[in-house]
Structure 1
């Protein structure tokens, strides 16, 4: 990744690397607490999420008094490289109207010491929490239908600029305002997204329980893999629980095979990881 932060981010396919999973860590690792100032004028008010990359914080822009969401990436070299890739993706998405495309609005980035901080509009609640607040009983069809329509619209817009999200799941879908009707959602977190033309089979991306089988088997994949994830999200919206509740990729694939059958031999023969899953079964 060659980056020019003053102008734009250039993309090099040869070094396009994704890391999977989001191990939890304490915000203390970043030495950020409520009241900390990021950059020159973003005051931390609350923590919204965390992962292997760093944290997402609700901040107050002290120059405008507006609340924003800021993704703070750790200064680890691999994570910084991934942040540069995400900036490249977000630059491509600037061609889209974030409201019309149902994707989060990105407002640029800044540095806080060696850390790269990405600025986003502040949204209300992730879809996973929204479902949980309904006691995991599932949503009424009057809500499921518009949510799926908006997510299909988001994926259509991503496809129009050749982007694969690669990590579609309820935690990466935000309700704009839970008190508004009809419900409106936006797709967030492009940390694992990539250009469809730069997909590298064999690199495991996404989240167990939502990623497409071809990704897990090391097969070529494209924007269609996001539609698989959307199907699983649809089931979870309607029932309140995941269709394939798995803690590891092996069990996840077993669920898929038990319900939909084993992939054809010619498909398995072309995969990178298929021996790991099928030899001896």
Structure 2
């Protein structure tokens, strides 16, 4: 987790008197009782719900001050989520140096408080690439559509790297189509809730989504912007074929797919991983790591001990 000194040069964050970050039942049991017509803050009327996650909800709102329609990410008032929202604001502040249209990154307008919840105000976009592919019955996109999309995503990652930011959760669900009726389709990268400065990465910090993570994340190896390029490669395959390259219900499945298709990971990576022992055992005869039945170890540890 990033430390508070990262915020010294950022926006003025709400003080503890404004947002209660202590562990208490009301904060940890926030069920976000929001309906259409609810007013967030002073002047954002909820018109529809766009998505939800562990953090809270994403809503479509109308700003009654200027009658503009925007997307509002409503974070729960749970202390850990509050801290994560502050970290996301720090990242978004760094991204203000970039032109959102030229850099293919969602435009962030500001943040405001709704009671003890932090709400992030973004431009309203059309639909995610995940939904865009689904509308085509997961058949994949033709090259004339695929090429400009990948070019835009590579452009977004280039500009993130220029300001030293790792997105850490690149996937079709975090890529938005600006307007599906336009051709070629324009896309923007969204959701910086897991992003961090490359200089502040903590080895062993597990981020990202199963199926799109680089091996470094699964093994607890120090990482940098390159993990986003790994994810982009997986997104490219999924856009072309309509199905994920590495399906799996957990990291073990994904790592197994990677090794079966690309071969054993280099020894220097295995030796530097904090979690290598969770997935691999070393063959003392040839000093080569082999994949361990980690699922079996989790479910029946006594049985595994008998045969290892």
TM-score higher than 0.5: yes
Stretches of structure 1 lacking an aligned partner (at least 5 in a row): 10-27
2:112 to 110, 113, 137: 110
Q: Count how many residue pairs are aligned between Structure 1 and Structure 2.
A: 264
Q: Following the alignment from structure 1 to structure 2, what is the Cα–Cα distance between the partners of residues 245 and 182? A: 29
In 2 relative to 1, CA 40–6 (structure 1 residues): closer, same or farther, beyond 3 Å? farther
1:137 maps to 139
Question: Could you say which residue in structure 2 is the equivalent of 1:122?
Answer: 124
Give the gaps of 5 or more residues in structure 2.
Answer: 14-29, 282-290, 293-308
Instruction: Give the counterpart of 2:242 among 240, 243, 250.
Output: 240
Distance 1:234 1:90 in 2: 26
The yes-or-no answer on 1:158 pairing with 2:123 is no
User: Counterpart of 2:230 in 1: which secondary structure?
Assistant: helix
Find the counterpart in structure 1 of residue 231 from structure 2.
Answer: 229
Describe how 1:152-231 pairs up with structure 2 within 5 A. Answer: 152-231=154-233
Q: TM-score, normalising length from structure 2? A: 0.83
The one-character-per-residue Cα deviations of 1:42-69 (angstroms, maximum 9, x if unpaired) are 0001111111100100000011111000
Task: From the CA coordinates, give the structure whose radius of gyration is larger.
Answer: 2
Root-mean-square deviation (CA), in Å? 1.7
Distance in 1 of aligned mates of 2:158 and 2:12: 25
Superposed displacement of residue 4, structure 1: 8.1
Structure-2 residue corresponding to 1:71: 73
Question: Cα deviations across residues 158-189 of structure 1 (Å, max 9, x unaligned)?
Answer: 00000000000000000000001111000000
Matches within 5 A, 1:26-37: 29-37=31-39
Q: Work out which of the residue numbers 248, 267, 270 in structure 1 matches 2:272.
A: 270
Counterpart Cα distance in 1 of 2:274 and 2:250 = 18
Q: Which residue of 2 aligns with 1:12?
A: none
Confirm whether residue 59 of structure 1 aligns to residue 61 of structure 2: yes
TM-score normalized by the length of structure 1: 0.91
- The separation in 2 between residues aligned to 1:201 and 1:7, in whole angstroms, is 27
Distance 1:157 1:178 in 2: 24
CA distance in structure 2 between the partners assigned to 1:148 and 1:267 by the alignment: 28
Structure 1 residues 138 and 6: alpha-carbon distance in aligned structure 2, compared to 1, 3 A threshold = closer
Deviation, structure 1 residue 5: 11
How far does residue 8 in structure 1 lie from its aligned partner after superposition? 3.8
- SS of 1:29's partner is coil
Distance 1:177 1:138 in 2: 19
Q: Which deviations, in whole Å up to 9, do the C-alpha atoms of 1:216-271 show, x marking residues without a partner?
A: 11001100110000000000010000001111011010000100111122221110
**Closer, same or farther: CA 123–268 of 1 in aligned 2, 3 Å:** same
**Which ranges of 4 or more aligned residues in structure 1 deviate by more than 3 Å?**
2-9
CA distance in structure 2 between the aligned counterparts of 1:214 and 1:269, rounded to whole angstroms: 12
Rounded to whole Å, the distance in 1 between the matches of 2:141 and 2:12 is: 41
